[in-house]
Structure 1
């Protein structure tokens, strides 16, 4: 199956500091790629580069057969095909949950209000948030806010969903309810690239796991290989600490 997204030789610097170095990655339709590694290893920066929120210093990113790392590319048009959910939710505080979920479909995709609201309410019902639709984000728990952020991303029917440490800011008892949504989307065939510290989740859901260390993908393979028989000593050291 041809790749939906490819990254070749990606390099990213902040000043003199190399944050990503020679990163290459291929994502086929329906893949769930989990990025693991210590904080500061480059996972979040890689996701931000894929979503064109960060300029890159070298390399090529191709999405749906088109190079999107070209500075002349319309980044907003690319992002309209992607969904991204952040660690800190990033819901608009002045909008209700329903308004958050319908904003992009209406303003970016030109969906009529009634249709956008019907779709959003259906998704909110599916993920146990229908009774929160008219509330503002500050009236929701952390788990509810992150579920709302996931629904907002899914309401645009993204071709690729990027998830950046979406459980990191949650209390432990709320982690499961958020990951359950991601599991359901993975089972339904959603293509995803996920930065996560949840090793059990990565082992169960990923089609491929990438271990990042100091800005490089040091090892990549199926979850069974990465978690039971890692080839790299750094991978073994990391897993020994976190498992």
Structure 2
């Protein structure tokens, strides 16, 4: 059996006395797209931040390609070079052009020369329809364009694992489609991804596996057809009924 790209074992995280992750286990195989669903506060974003070592664990361990990355001796900056994380807020540097945002990490972190970094960045921007915006500053772009640029910035470092945290939640409805289309392309290319989303239709379409989180635990997981169409757990059914009533399923 091959080593999973991501292996989370017994994760526990406490904020101000509140347990946010509760003995959570999750494995993600190479080329797999795992979608996390659940109500706000269920632990989805915290899980992604712990995987990227932005939040320390209170217990448990995380392995990336078999390496124990939550070992206290591990250099978190070295680990983050292999993980792309895209937030719901775009977090682009406002004083840098789109091109400079995309090339900053390859040049400063990976030591790639400017000419090569810019050539690679332009190929990625061309792919997502942003080549014409390369010299623009982020505030001159629409929300959808900014989010696509943020995803490209992560892709420019050729990550082993992509983490996407509610990447459409800050967008106007008419802009959601262009970002989801890019994520579909990444999935088709075989990118290993963990995606937190409230978009159930998107989860059904792009996920190899859906995990429903509640109270910091994965309550149920399985194929999109099973979890979203015929959930076994009462709590999953209750959540999806509320989502359906809100018109998001």
TM-score, structure 1 normalization: 0.99
| Per-residue deviation, residues 58-82 of structure 1 (Å, max 9, x unmatched) | 0010111110111211000000001
8 Å CA contact retained: 2:103, 2:117? yes
Alpha-carbon distance between aligned partners in 2 of 1:241 and 1:14, rounded to the nearest angstrom: 27
Task: Give 3-state SS (helix, strand or coil) of 1:62's partner.
Answer: strand
* 1:71 aligned residue: 72
Alpha-carbon distance between aligned partners in 2 of 1:21 and 1:132, rounded to the nearest angstrom: 43
* 2:208 aligned residue: 207
Task: Give 3-state SS (helix, strand or coil) of 1:45's partner.
Answer: helix
Q: Runs of 4 or more off by more than 2 Å in structure 1?
A: none
* 1:172 aligned residue: 173
8 Å CA contact retained: 2:3, 2:65? no
Task: Give 3-state SS (helix, strand or coil) of 1:106's partner.
Answer: helix
- Please state if 1:62 is matched with 2:63: yes
Aligned length: 243
Alpha-carbon distance between aligned partners in 2 of 1:211 and 1:241, rounded to the nearest angstrom: 14
Task: Give 3-state SS (helix, strand or coil) of 1:21's partner.
Answer: strand
* 1:23 aligned residue: 24
Question: Superposition RMSD on alpha carbons, in Å?
Answer: 0.7
* 1:135 aligned residue: 136
Alpha-carbon distance between aligned partners in 2 of 1:90 and 1:208, rounded to the nearest angstrom: 28
Alpha-carbon distance between aligned partners in 2 of 1:23 and 1:69, rounded to the nearest angstrom: 15
Alpha-carbon distance between aligned partners in 1 of 2:22 and 2:56, rounded to the nearest angstrom: 14
| Per-residue deviation, residues 120-160 of structure 1 (Å, max 9, x unmatched) | 01111110101110011111110010000011011111000
| Per-residue deviation, residues 79-100 of structure 1 (Å, max 9, x unmatched) | 0001010000000111100000
Task: Give 3-state SS (helix, strand or coil) of 2:8's partner.
Answer: strand
* 2:157 aligned residue: 156
* 2:33 aligned residue: 32
Task: Give 3-state SS (helix, strand or coil) of 1:122's partner.
Answer: helix
Task: Give 3-state SS (helix, strand or coil) of 1:138's partner.
Answer: helix
Alpha-carbon distance between aligned partners in 2 of 1:81 and 1:11, rounded to the nearest angstrom: 23
TM-score, structure 2 normalization: 0.96
- Please state if 1:233 is matched with 2:234: yes
1:227 CA drift (Å): 1.1
8 Å CA contact retained: 2:3, 2:66? no
* 2:53 aligned residue: 52
Alpha-carbon distance between aligned partners in 2 of 1:2 and 1:221, rounded to the nearest angstrom: 20
**What residue ranges of structure 1 are gaps of 5+ in the alignment?**
none
Alpha-carbon distance between aligned partners in 2 of 1:240 and 1:165, rounded to the nearest angstrom: 20
